[in-house]
Amino acid sequence: MSGIVVRNIERSALDRLAPLGEAGVATVHEALGRIGLMASYLRPIYPGASIVGNAVTVTVAPGDNTTIHVAVELCQEGDVIVIAPTSPCEDGYFGDLFGGALNARGVRGVILEAGCRDVRSLKEMGFPVWSKAVFAQGTVKETMGDVNLPLVCAGQRVEPGDAIVADDDGVLVVPRARIDEARDAAAARIEKEERNRLRFASGEVGLDVYGMRERLIAKGLTYYDDAGAYANRKRT
């Protein structure tokens, strides 16, 4: 199963993806029904980065970055490389040489279920990585994985060409077939959240904004004036 490379994948036009990046991970995730969120142990190597792009998928052997080298020349403007080791590993698969080469090709960033190094240089060149660890331990070049086959990264299935959204809140996979749906749903959600924000700003609370109050009382929500009232109530 290793050593397979699919050269060309179906990508989405970057202007179709852009609204997902503007909406951000939390909003798109909600809008699409809470699917596709990678595990919280993937963290950005520096705060403030926010990207969206087309997934190029790469599996790597533990401690071996061969397949990332194979993937580089297949990348295009607007891609995001998603890298998953075939067994858990936190070695530093990715550093500033890769970052520079990918930056030059217009790659937006890297999602890496392993370790990243040269984090200061990567920050200086503005090339963001979401990784499981920061670890300088280098890798060898002996064993191949695959490029552009489906994989599982940080708990989520990723198909080549899926949209990847990543920011300070984490990393989200949007299936390629649902990108427009995600964009529209995110727009609707943002509009709704704006309306709610105004209501909250005017002093309303979620119990009323979301119509929860009656339902909770029906379920048994009970108010006591103070701790004394609650204590006395219990004794009855």
Tell which one of 106, 125, 150, 191 touches a second copy (CB under 8 A): 150
Taking the complex as a whole, the smallest distance from the CB of residue 183 to a second copy amounts, in Å, to 17
Q: What residues from 80 to 109 belong to the interface with a second copy (CB under 8 A)?
A: 86-92, 95, 97-98, 100-101, 104
Tokens of residue 147, six digits: 């490029």
Q: Which residues, numbered 155-194, are part of the site for a second copy (CB under 8 A)?
A: 155-157, 160, 167-170, 172, 193
Q: Per rule CB under 8 A, is residue 203 in the interface with a second copy?
A: yes
C-beta of 181: minimal distance to a second copy in Å? 12
Q: Which of 19, 51, 53, 64 binds a second copy (CB under 8 A)?
A: 64
Task: By CB under 8 A, name the one of 46, 175, 176, 181 that touches a second copy.
Answer: 46
Q: Which two tokens stand for residue 194?
A: 């704006």
Burial 127-140 (b: 16+ CB within 10 A, else e): bbbbbbbebeeebe
Closest separation between CB of residue 121 and a second copy, Å? Answer: 9
One-letter amino acid at 221 equals L
Count residues contacting a second copy (CB under 8 A)? 100
Partners of 94 in beta bridges: 116
| Binding residue for a second copy, selected from 13, 18, 125, 140, defined by CB under 8 A | 140
Q: What is the CA radius of gyration of the chain?
A: 22
Burial per residue of 73-110, b for 16 or more beta-carbon CB atoms within 10 angstroms, e otherwise: ebbeebbbbbbbbbeebbbbbbbbebbeebbeeebbbb
